Amino acid sequence: MEVPALPGRQSVEWRQTTFSPETLGRSGTLRLRERLAELDLIPITVGAYASILEPDDLEPLLRRIDFAQQLGASFVIIDAAGAEPVDEAEWRQVANLGRFLGDYAQARGVQLAFEIHAGLTRSGAVARRLLDAIDHAAVGVNYDTGNAIFYNDDVDPVADLRVIAERVIHTHLKDTSGGRGDWAFGPLGSGHVDLPTIVRILKEREFHGPYSLEIEGFAGEDLTRESRVERLRESLRYLETLGLHP
């Protein structure tokens, strides 16, 4: 594991790569945690990439909550993509499952954050119904500023964030120069997401969760490592103009 030299102490959001992290077991996870400490990295979040609407995702999701606890991470990112509830009975089933997962995570010192993504959380306004139905202290939203545009037509992330701001426990700060379905995520400050207002709203709501930086690039490009790191540095410099420091 190699980490570029960047200013300040760094934290890391652990995402699915080419293996399922829980296959490390307790001893392997402990070694990973020790290695991160050697690199002066703090694990804060595990990206589960599992949906509350997919029955086959339940067991992997529980394992990744356990993995987060063992790693020392405080958040697990989940989503709600898939076949949506069609009636009140199905909504009750989803809400009950959400409360079960909230209890499971809370007992392990972990919070679950639904990402603004496809499905029932494709925007803050849409996610509100799911969060209200679950109504659990350990379950909130990971507000992804770029996805709010990518998955919707005519959604303003600023207005959309206001609808759900009090339920936001984690953020993905991501800029885009595109619209719905456009993979165009450059460095922060290079697109048309009003990130200064986003951050101001969160500060006004006394948000104290992670601001996780995402720079996913542009469709079809093939960047060198140096180019990726430079975009990261550019984004970190931009974050400093917003009063956010690593």
Task: Determine contact, residues 72/29, Cβ cutoff 8 Å.
Answer: no
pLDDT one-digit tens code per residue, 19-77: 677 778 889 999 999 999 999 999 999 999 899 999 999 999 999 999 999 999 999 99
Q: What integer pLDDT is reported at residue 23 of this predicted model?
A: 79
Q: What integer pLDDT is reported at residue 229 of this predicted model?
A: 94
Is the pTM here over 0.85, yes or no?
Answer: yes
Q: Is the pLDDT reported for residue 3 higher than 50?
A: no
pLDDT one-digit tens code per residue, 87-134: 999 999 999 999 999 999 999 999 999 999 999 999 999 999 999 999
Confidence of residue 16 (pLDDT cuts 50, 70, 90): low
CATH number corresponding to 10-241: 3.20.20.150
Q: How far apart (Å, rounded) are the C-alpha atoms in residues 222 and 92?
A: 45
Q: Is the pLDDT reported for residue 13 higher than 90?
A: no
Q: How many CA atoms lie within 13 A of 234 on its CB side?
A: 14
Q: What integer pLDDT is reported at residue 133 of this predicted model?
A: 97
Strand 168-173 relative to strand 75-80: parallel, antiparallel, unpaired?
A: unpaired
Q: Is the pLDDT reported for residue 185 higher than 90?
A: yes
Confidence of residue 246 (pLDDT cuts 50, 70, 90): low
Q: What integer pLDDT is reported at residue 212 of this predicted model?
A: 94
Confidence of residue 14 (pLDDT cuts 50, 70, 90): low
Q: Is the pLDDT reported for residue 234 higher than 50?
A: yes
pLDDT one-digit tens code per residue, 210-225: 999 999 999 999 999 9
Q: What integer pLDDT is reported at residue 49 of this predicted model?
A: 83
How many helices and strands in the chain, by DSSP H and E? Answer: 8, 9
Mean pLDDT of the chain: 92
Rounded to the nearest angstrom, the gap between the alpha carbon of residue 108 and the centroid of all alpha carbons in its chain is: 19
153 phi/psi in degrees, rounded to 5: -100, 130
Q: Which of 153, 149, 146 is CA-nearest to residue 175?
A: 146
